[in-house]
Amino acid sequence: MKNRIIKISNIIVILVILAILKISVISAQGIHEFSVDAGLGSSSLRYKLSHGDRSGRVGGDFGVGYTYFFDKVRITSTGKVFRELWGIHTGMGIGLYNAKAKLDDANTENKGLNDGDTSVEDPKYNVFDLRTKLDNYSEIQKTVYLNIPVMAQFQIEQIYAMAGFKFGIPISGKFSSDNATITNAGWYPELGNLATTQEFAGYGTFNGRYFEGNFESRFAVIFALEAGYKWRIADNLSIYTGMYFDCGLNNTCKEADKAFVNYNNKRPKEFSTNSVLSSYSDNKKLTTFTDKTKLMAVGIKLRFAMEK
């Protein structure tokens, strides 16, 4: 998966470089603009929870950019002169996307586990189904993407607008849950017995637990818009101030393929959890906590630009 993502990112970078070089050769009268930018706002993972609510969190991005402009002067029928700039913008930036999932009371089941009890002669009596109840479980998810924009930019006088796409390459995906309350029980079908209080075996109610881990993100295609005002502060220096809106077009999380609770029969009390983004809640893998996950961001953008 990672090798495929790297190959895709390399292809995108090569195509962008070739496009810029071709434009530069076609017109030597254009304007080259180099910039650094930073954005701040609501930058989140968007999805629906089957057992609760999701909320967005503050995020943002920062990066470097290059814009090639075609300079044009337009004269209206009234004789007024406007300077128009058409350009192609690209670059590279880091995007931070966060979300918080808060589950209502929910139940999960992981069947066919083995408790590892070597004192039992017949191994079939070691097989059990782990039943887990979640009480007001909440989880914070944080992802980092390397975003490559390919956008068209139009500017008339100091007003500018941009539209196009960003291609996101996942760098990391992490989750954490603090002060969680989880109740485990073990159903032994061969014995017809439900174990609920053997804490040494990982059964019972566990309060104030902290969990953290990683989840796998996918390559993202993002529709991007930006608009605002360009302030000229020197002959070749400008500051952009504007608003941006990014809308992910594809599912960026791998399909749920893990049980919610990671059971370890050597250290049953030290069980861990997976993110609700990558977990199923029943053993048939038909019921998941979330649906498709997409990136979404809206906020303010500040860009320092130098023309050459």
Q: Could you tell me the pLDDT band of residue 241, with boundaries at 50, 70 and 90?
A: very high
- Give the chain's mean pLDDT: 82
Between CA 152 and CA 87 the distance in angstroms is 6
Between CA 279 and CA 261 the distance in angstroms is 9
- Across the range 277-306, mean pLDDT stands at 81
CB 130 within 8 A of CB 182: no
CB 280 within 8 A of CB 288: yes
> Could you tell me which residue, 196 or 63, shows the higher pLDDT?
63
Element (H, E) at 120: none
Q: Could you tell me the two tokens for 295?
A: 């990136």
Q: The whole model's pTM is what?
A: 0.79
Between CA 24 and CA 22 the distance in angstroms is 5
| Residue corresponding to tokens 């017809």 | 192
Does position 76 have pLDDT exceeding 80, yes or no?
no
- Across the range 205-209, mean pLDDT stands at 86
> Could you tell me which residue, 96 or 195, shows the higher pLDDT?
96
* 32 burial level (CB within 10 Å; 0-12, 13-18, 19+): middle
pLDDT of residue 24: 46
- Across the range 47-76, mean pLDDT stands at 81
Longest Cα–Cα distance in the chain:
98
Supply the range of the domain harboring residue 13: 2-307
> Could you tell me which residue, 142 or 112, shows the higher pLDDT?
142
Given the DSSP bridges, would you call strands 159-188 and 220-232 parallel, antiparallel or unpaired?
A: antiparallel
Domains contained in the chain, number: 1
